[in-house]
Amino acid sequence: MKVVIVGGVAGGASAAARLRRLDEKAEILIFEKTGFVSYANCGLPYYIGGVIQDKGELLLKTPESFWTRFHITVRVHTEVLSVNRHAKTVTVKDLTTGEEWDEPYDKLILSPGARAVLPPLPGIDDPRIFTLRTVEDTFRIHDFITASQPKSAVVIGGGFIGLEMAENLVEKGIAVTILEMQSQLMTTFDSDMASFIHNRLRQAGISLRLNTGAAGFEDRDGKIATLLKNDTALTADMVIMAAGVAPDSSLAKDAGLRTGIRGSIYTDDHMMTSDEDIYAVGDAVQVKHFVTGADALISLAGPANKQGRIAADNICGIDSTYIGSLGSSVIKLFDLTAASTGLTERAAKAAGIDCESVVLGPMSHAGYYPGAKALTMKVVFERGSLRILGAQIIGAEGADKRIDVIATAIQAGMQAHKLKNLDLAYAPPYSSAKDPVNMAGFMIENISNGLMKQYHAEDVDTLPRDGSVTLLDTRTREEYGRGHADGYINIPLDELRERLSEVDKARPVYVMCHSGLRSYIACRILSENGFDSYNFSGGYRFYESVYKEKLASDNLYPCGMEK
């Protein structure tokens, strides 16, 4: 059997290695049009920022190492131009010599990946405008920074690549402005959670221009000006174009293979295309979202690696299926970690799911052990069934392991309130006896059985201030004095029982504290004494971040101001 693989990196390289482990006699041939077949794609920004200093560390496998270990032939700088399905050949061009030939196959795996979106704007070909998808792109940016010593940069796009590049450019001493057409960065987060990302980037000195798109580029006195729609141009020394990616599916389209959303390559759950001898994996492939079952494009290394393995299994006669993607992801932003999995609340509602969420602010480990830092967690679940739909976690430490636990719970079909039952490792330097994941389960159970009613950040400003409801802040006087939501009176939790006469029992009581815990206790005291009470989901720390972002968006709050 001869298997030809178009493209390396995550999907193609993992498929090749799995094929060899399953079939020692198969002839395996990888064609890769760049100069590098297997590299740490997610590590590219960190070489530019100097975190990774040896470029060799980016290269996971070379053509030579593939042959030495696996007896797999790799041809780099070699582009597959077309697929002849009837003859079962691919037309190949050596980009170094210009030679072309037809290569036969028994089975074909397409792993072309995705290409950076480059909108057809005036001036887009300026050499100071860079994209970041390949190792060659990385070296170009690195060499430009080394040679030109830029002092300023515009990053267009607020997704993973845009934010990672922004952080690494700042670490190189470059002033950065991020341009984003949407109203928020990182759409894998709800806007309330994204406020923590926005505020941290502003604290790092990064200027955010949201709801703003580029209209073109031009040279101005040796610098590159990014022209904006209905706004003043931004002048800088370089531009990073990170406006998203699109499936690189032209080979499949030209070969007449079935395509999916946004021109992606359609496959079944065996990673087989509409041709039984052709498989496809990676960023160019349409998948099913694990939660909704809807068609999706999820460009992440983890799914690509799994898909490569699954394609190889099926080619070798092992029945292996891809169950869909949750889109679990994590990103480092200076001293913050931001992680997400599954659906946001926004996406769940758009999918027509009747959902609810809880927001909590637990510590990353036991508070009495030095170094504990606050996490902000949002867990989204379906009303009635209590199916977990997704989660978002942001904090200085511990976000990554908690998101992995919740991702596992989603795939296991666990109900949200049963997060309380998970037996998770505990020692004071690592967690608390009640892990934050357990705490989310407790909160959801209290909501589902009627022990707690809650309200959210978007409700605070709409609550009446005419005396028809009571707005109660149960933090200490010192905390209240440092800042509080408009209209809230202060009765510290430890004084509440003795001061219940100051609260009108005929009016609903909306309670807030710093993280949501003390206000929950206050709500239980109030409810047991006949009051109609509602706990604020997330606490004042959460509200402050959301409110600060609102002021910043309205240009009422100075960038970088400390909390």
Q: Which helix (H) or strand (E) holds 405?
A: helix 399-411
Active site residue 42: yes
Cα→Cα distances 78→32, 36, 83, 95, 240, Å: 6, 11, 14, 5, 27
> Could you give the CA distance from residue 522 to residue 563 in angstroms, rounded to a whole number?
26
Query: Do 383 and 355 contact (CB within 8 A), yes or no?
Result: yes
Query: Do 472 and 510 contact (CB within 8 A), yes or no?
Result: yes
> What interhelical angle do 9-22 and 63-70 show, nearest 10?
20
Residue 74's nearest CA partner among 36, 106, 102 is 36
Residue 116's nearest CA partner among 129, 106, 103 is 129
- 3-state helix, strand and coil shares in percent for the chain, rounded to the nearest 5: 30, 30, 40
> Could you give the CA distance from residue 273 to residue 254 in angstroms, rounded to a whole number?
14
Q: Is 349 strand, coil or helix?
A: helix
Query: Do 265 and 110 contact (CB within 8 A), yes or no?
Result: yes
Cα→Cα distances 240→187, 224, 343, 354, Å: 19, 12, 29, 39
Cα→Cα distances 463→26, 468, 485, 508, 553, Å: 69, 9, 11, 11, 22
Which stretches within 236-387 are classed as H helix? 250-254, 301-315, 345-350
- Of 42, 355, 523, 559, catalytic: 42
Provide the token pair at 494: 């430890």
Residues involved in catalysis: 42
